[in-house]
Amino acid sequence: MRVRTSAAALAVAAASTLGMLATAAPAQADSIPDNLCGGVIDVDYCLWYNSNQKGGWTATYENISNWAGWNFSDGGQGTNGVNTAVKNNAASYANSRDDKTGVSYFNSNYAGASDVAPPRDLGNLVKTYNNNASFRWR
């Protein structure tokens, strides 16, 4: 009788554990939609004219020592800022890379205050809000 009770208790414990595993919360979904950075995934750092990834946008997969000469394009997130200079006009960002951190700098040539964007991160610029002059991967 003792063996049968122990086996039954073990079976109930195993079923309970499996039940908890089956109802565990799924992994958090990626916060960057596939089309957010112009449909290019895992290679771009994107900036937007408005907060919360709205308005005109631009994207780069290279370091940019000076945003002068770059303009925001219409990426389907609203037309505010389209054709406006990127330098000193960006409000939000997304880093669609899986393997690199992106850094937006206040000054040209990667100097001054900076906002750091870890891999697969998006948000609003804080230290370089409307004062962004360069960008570099690290």
List the chain pLDDT tens, one digit each, 138 residues.
444 444 444 444 444 444 444 444 333 345 666 666 665 556 789 999 999 999 999 999 999 999 999 999 987 777 899 999 999 999 999 998 889 999 999 999 999 999 999 998 999 999 999 999 999 999
The model's pTM is 0.74
| Alpha carbons 85 and 73: distance in angstroms, whole number | 10
| Token pair listed for 71 | 């303009």
Amino acid letter at 19?
G
Compute and round to an integer the Cα radius of gyration of the chain: 23
* CB 95, CB 121: distance < 8 Å: yes
